[in-house]
Structure formats: structure tokens, C-alpha cells
């Protein structure tokens, strides 16, 4: 609704004129409000959803004007996923399925940068690959839902202001049909976040215990029971982002140009004195070809996602798992015996060792490699689905494992007492 036919030149002139009237060099709340109200914060979004309805060519022209003026906050929808993931993880489902009250509350906050860090409350101890089998329940109480259950592998849960929550609102229909999708306030009584120590020594993942936590009914994205559909929008954004990363998991830049896509690998071989080794050169070219092919696939997927969910995002994410594992293994081997010492104080070996371990995150987060293969086989290749014994069965009658662990069990399985700096993380 409200789509614009503005050309790139017209969009450029409109942005330049607006900036001339409104940008005075001060990035404050008043400026951010003005950018959002004028539709320049996300100009490709519909005009009735705080955008201007521009196509991407016109929006890129406008973005160039904002960059030239040094004016922040404009054309955020032109930024890559990893620069502003929450814009896509929350913004895309809101645009597709959000109600009027949810959009009016969250979209301005999102575009002004006031939503802060977010987290994804999807997986549970008994529902990871079979996510639709989750047992966290949300029960309507007046104009709020009361949520009880447990989530796990929640990145940034300890610092998140809001979470995207998938919970069961109906137990008397098949598992997918009984799910609803919410935005929930993480800073409330009834939510406890407990860090999980990772192989790298960090604690970015968490268990989240919800005990009668509350979420306004208006913060549901989509109608009750439509949570699986809304979730697919968020998952498509996440998988597309994970499949088109331009850096290793530890943040080492990976260049995307044809002539420079293997610069980091070449440098690792040069430091090891093995640049003339034929096998090493073959390894470099193989990984470089995977990177470039995935970049092109990612661009195709991004174009398709603009028209709706695309299974190509699963191709990119699966390919990126192989790319990250292969690249990390290569640099690890080039480093030789120095890789045997994992030391934060070593500026060369530590990032290499972390990349080797962090590569597994891409193979699990956002849907495991095995799940991506299932999606590709069924939705891209058209192969028949596997046997689904619970298909059509009310979820109440489906055999289930334990829904949660208690907080005390979680502590006992890791450590008796959390370190001082990890207490009271809620």
C-alpha cells in the first residue's frame, strides 16, 4: 500500500532537499524522530509502515545522499543483515504479520535504535531440530499472555531488552497449528537467564527460564496459531544473513571481490612459508571458489526474499557452514604447532583457534545443517518428505520428552555457584 513510482534521480533530489531542510549536524532524539516520521529510516518499507514505498534502486540513491551529508539513521534497510540484524529479524515479521498496535509500538523504536539488543527464544531442551514440538506455553489472561517454559542456546539473552518468542497457545491441534509468535520484554520478573560456558571459554549462549512471565496480547505477531508462519519470515532473514557473511565467526574480514576473496588464506600460507606448495594453492582456490559462488547465491536469495520466503537461504547457510569450517581448518593447519596453544594474549593464534571452534555455530544456529538439507531436498529439489508419525495428531496426544530442566538442575550440570560477574544477569 502506498508504493512509490519515484525514480532514482527523483529519490536523490527528494532526499537532498529534505536533508537541506532538516539536517543540522546534531544526531539526537529529535533528529531520529524526524527521519522516522518522514519515512527515510527505511524508505523501501510501505508508506503506511513508516517507509516511503521506494524500490531498492531509488532507496540506494537516497542512501548516497545521507552518506554524503554525514546524516545518520537514514536508509537502514539498505544495510547488510550483520550491521543491523534486529531490523530484519523483528522488522520483517512485523511488516508481514504485525497488528496495528504492535507496529505502532515497535517500528519507531526499532528505526530509532531504541529496541536495543534482542534475542531469539525458539529452541528448547526437547525441541531443537523438531522446533514445532516445543512445550513452552502461553495462556491468555485478560489482555496478556502468561508464559511458562524454558528456552536454550539463546544468544545475547543476558543483555537482551526484548526477545522473539515462539510459544504454544493451543494444545488441541497439530503441533505447527498451535504455535504463536510474540515480542516479549526480557527485563521483567519471571525471566531468569543463565549463561552456558562454550568450548571457546566464552558464555554468549544462555538458558532462559520463563515462570509466569507476561506479554501483552497486542505484542503477538500474527493471529493465534499463526506463529509458525511468522517464524518463517524471521528464520529466512536469519538464514540469509548467516549464509552471506563477509567475515569469519571471530570477525576476521573476508573480502568479496573476485581478485581478493582469498586474501586471508594467501596471507596465512605466506606466513607459513608454504605459498609455493601445490596442494596448499589448490586448497586456497577451492575455498575461494566456494566463497564466490555463495556470494552470488546470496544475492539471488536476497532478491527472492523481497518477494517472500525463499529456500535459497538454506542453500547459502549450508554452504557457509562448509566455507567456515574449511577456511578455519586451513588457517589452523598453516599456523602449525602454534595452534596447539589457545591463548587470548596471542594476537595471531587466538583468532585462528576461535574461528575453528566458532564455525560450529553456523552449523547449528538458525537450523542445523541437517535441517537445511531437509529443506533443500523437499522445497528446492522436490523430493518426498520423510515419515511424520505425529502429522495431524493433536499435540496434547503426541509423545513428548521432558519440557524443561529446573534452574537447580542447570546449575548442577555446569557449576555449583556462578562466578560473581555472571550473577543477576536478568
Q: Cα dihedral angle (413, 419, 423, 426), rounded to 10 degrees?
A: -60
Q: Are 248 and 327 in contact (CB under 8 A)?
A: yes
- Annotated active-site residue 238? The verdict is yes
Give dist(CA 126, CA 47) in Å, integer: 42
222 CB-near residues (< 8 Å, 6+ apart)? 93, 97, 98, 180, 181, 229, 230
Give dist(CA 53, CA 43) in Å, integer: 6
Longest dimension (CA), the chain: 71
Beta-carbon count within 10 A of 248 CB: 22
Give the torsion sign (CA, 121, 123, 125, 127). Answer: positive
Q: Are 227 and 179 in contact (CB under 8 A)?
A: yes
Would you state the cell numbers that stand for residue 335, as one nine-digit string?
599456523
Beta-carbon count within 10 A of 94 CB: 23
Alpha carbon distance, N-terminus to C-terminus of the chain: 40
Instruction: Supply the DSSP symbol for 164.
Output: E
C-alpha pair distances (Å), 394 with each of 126, 176, 239, 259, 387: 18, 10, 30, 55, 17
Residue among 65, 124, 207, 238 flagged as catalytic:
238
Would you state the cell numbers that stand for residue 377, as one nine-digit string?
531436498
Give dist(CA 115, CA 107) in Å, integer: 9
Would you state the cell numbers that stand for residue 290, as one nine-digit string?
566456494
Chain-centre distance for alpha carbon 214: 24
Helices (H), 244-368: 263-271, 278-305, 312-335, 349-364
Phi, psi (deg, nearest 5) at residue 18: -65, -45
Place of cell 500500500: 1
Catalytic residue numbers? 238
Amino acid at each position: 500500500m502506498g508504493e512509490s513510482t519515484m525514480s532514482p534521480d527523483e529519490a536523490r533530489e527528494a532526499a537532498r532537499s529534505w536533508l537541506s531542510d532538516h539536517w543540522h549536524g546534531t544526531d539526537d532524539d529529535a533528529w531520529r524522530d524526524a527521519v522516522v516520521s518522514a519515512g527515510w529510516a527505511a524508505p523501501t518499507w510501505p508508506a503506511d509502515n513508516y517507509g516511503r514505498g521506494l524500490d531498492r534502486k531509488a532507496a540506494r540513491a537516497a542512501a548516497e545522499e545521507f552518506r554524503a551529508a554525514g546524516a545518520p539513521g537514514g536508509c537502514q534497510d539498505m544495510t547488510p543483515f550483520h550491521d543491523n540484524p534486529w531490523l530484519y529479524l523483528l522488522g520483517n515479521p512485523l511488516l508481514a504479520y504485525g497488528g496495528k498496535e504492535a507496529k505502532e509500538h515497535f517500528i519507531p523504536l526499532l528505526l530509532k535504535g531504541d529496541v536495543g539488543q534482542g534475542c531469539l527464544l525458539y529452541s528448547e531442551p526437547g525441541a531443537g531440530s523438531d522446533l514445532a514440538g516445543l512445550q513452552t506455553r502461553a495462556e491468555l489472561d485478560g489482555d496478556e499472555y502468561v508464559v511458562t517454559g524454558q528456552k536454550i542456546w539463546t544468544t545475547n539473552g543476558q543483555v537482551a531488552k526484548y526477545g522473539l518468542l515462539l510459544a504454544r497457545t493451543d494444545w488441541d491441534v497439530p503441533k505447527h497449528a498451535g504455535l504463536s509468535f510474540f515480542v516479549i520484554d526480557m527485563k521483567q520478573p519471571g525471566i531468569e537467564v543463565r549463561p552456558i560456558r562454550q568450548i571457546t571459554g566464552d558464555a554468549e549462549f544462555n538458558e532462559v527460564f520463563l515462570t509466569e512471565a507476561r506479554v501483552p496480547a497486542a505484542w503477538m505477531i500474527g493471529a493465534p496459531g499463526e506463529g509458525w508462519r511468522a517464524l518463517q519470515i524471521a528464520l529466512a532473514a536469519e538464514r540469509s544473513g548467516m549464509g552471506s557473511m563477509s567475515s569469519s565467526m571471530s570477525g576476521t574480514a573476508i573480502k568479496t571481490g573476485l581478485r581478493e576473496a582469498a586474501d586471508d588464506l594467501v596471507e596465512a600460507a605466506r606466513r607459513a612459508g608454504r605459498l609455493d606448495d601445490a596442494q596448499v594453492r589448490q586448497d586456497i582456490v577451492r575455498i575461494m571458489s566456494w566463497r564466490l559462488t555463495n556470494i552470488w547465491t546470496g544475492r539471488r536469495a536476497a532478491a527472492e526474499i523481497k518477494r517472500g520466503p525463499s529456500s535459497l537461504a538454506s542453500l547459502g547457510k549450508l554452504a557457509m557452514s562448509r566455507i567456515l569450517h574449511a577456511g578455519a581448518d586451513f588457517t589452523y593447519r598453516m599456523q602449525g604447532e602454534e595452534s596447539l596453544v589457545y591463548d587470548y594474549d596471542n594476537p595471531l593464534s587466538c583468532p585462528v583457534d576461535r574461528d575453528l571452534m566458532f564455525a560450529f555455530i553456523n552449523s547449528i544456529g538458525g537450523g542445523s545443517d541437517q535441517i537445511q538439507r531437509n529443506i533443500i531436498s523437499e522445497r528446492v529439489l522436490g523430493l518426498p518428505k520423510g515419515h511424520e508419525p505425529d502429522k495431524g495428531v493433536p499435540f496434547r496426544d503426541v509423545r513428548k520428552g521432558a519440557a524443561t530442566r529446573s534452574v537447580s538442575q542447570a546449575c548442577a550440570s555446569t557449576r555449583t555457584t556462578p562466578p560473581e560477574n555472571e550473577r543477576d544477569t536478568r
